[in-house]
Copies of this chain bind each other. A is one copy, B any other.
């Protein structure tokens, strides 16, 4: 590799997060570009390329000093780099890496990956998973996402379903359907939405027990449940315990398939911090009697920048 710099471009539904890094992983500068989704998102990559060229000029970085540009896409990416459909961007039938390379003059190596997978790569490179080569990153947000890295490489899966751990079945007899059409998926209990749903079920089932969760009514959030659980509210503790039991169960499943050395927990819900990690760890460890040595569980550290970091790392590989 000749260049000294890497560029990470994490394309989201509303903004594109861009960053220039040294090949050692030090962030030099970052900025955002609005995601223009109109006309099937045809302006998104040209907008990014224009802003990037300007930024490189501003920082007196020549094209041949850029070792690579990585692009993260919020949807499935085939191993060839082909994007069949990306609903969140309005894209159909696109080759984002090839297009970006052309926009930048045809001489810079470009790569593309799915956003959840590149976020895992980012956390491994410069975040909670630094120093490790085999990790599962879990994103607890509106949904439950995952990114699996084995021996430094993303396991994307032949149908793009690699590390789709939010859709592992954990509860029999569930009546409500998950977004995927299944019943009893992890996402239904451990996402921000799922944590609230479970809390409301616990409240309904234990009508006679007092809980401050009741004061929030329909406005109850996952953060409220975690905060009240930390404060000792019995029903909040019970419901977050159920949610994290299922997450621990899924991490145990992942250990029995890919056996990583570390789980990195990120996403909005993970702001509950070490309290949440301790809950997950307790469940996970009880469910992996086969392992003499358990995988560790830790918090993600890069927040919303994880994808941008991972895009840069992707361009290096």
Residues of B within 8 A of A260 (CB): 157-158
Nearest Cβ distance between residue A230 and chain B, in whole angstroms? 27
The reply to whether B257 and A254 contact each other, CB–CB distance below 8 Å, is yes
The reply to whether B257 and A169 contact each other, CB–CB distance below 8 Å, is no
Q: Is A150 positioned at the interface, with any CB of B under 8 Å from its CB?
A: yes
Q: How far is the CA of A61 from the CA of B172 in the complex (A)?
A: 59
The reply to whether B253 and A157 contact each other, CB–CB distance below 8 Å, is no
The reply to whether B161 and A261 contact each other, CB–CB distance below 8 Å, is no
Find A289's partner among B150, B158, B181 (CB 8 Å cutoff): B181
Q: How far is the CA of A254 from the CA of B260 in the complex (A)?
A: 14
The reply to whether A253 and B169 contact each other, CB–CB distance below 8 Å, is yes
Which A residues lie at the B interface, using CB under 8 A? Answer: 134, 148, 150, 155-165, 167-169, 172, 180-182, 249, 252-261, 287, 289-293, 295
Copies of this chain in its oligomeric complex: 2
The reply to whether A257 and B259 contact each other, CB–CB distance below 8 Å, is no
Given the interface pairs A168-B253, A249-B169, A257-B258, the reply to whether A150 lies near B159 with Cβ below 8 Å is no
Q: How far is the CA of A165 from the CA of B255 in the complex (A)?
A: 9
Find A290's partner among B180, B259, B287, B295 (CB 8 Å cutoff): B180
The reply to whether A290 and B182 contact each other, CB–CB distance below 8 Å, is yes
Residues of B within 8 A of A249 (CB): 169
The reply to whether B290 and A167 contact each other, CB–CB distance below 8 Å, is yes
Q: How far is the CA of A41 from the CA of B169 in the complex (A)?
A: 44
Residues of B within 8 A of A259 (CB): 155-162, 164
Q: How far is the CA of A260 from the CA of B156 in the complex (A)?
A: 10
Closest 10 CB pairs of A and B: A157-B259, A181-B289, A161-B259, A180-B290, A158-B261, A257-B257, A162-B259, A164-B256, A182-B289, A168-B256
- Report 14 cross-chain contacts, Cβ distance below 8 Å, ordered by A residue: A155-B259, A157-B259, A157-B260, A158-B260, A158-B295, A159-B255, A159-B261, A161-B291, A162-B257, A164-B290, A167-B256, A168-B256, A169-B287, A182-B289
Residues of B within 8 A of A155 (CB): 150, 257-259
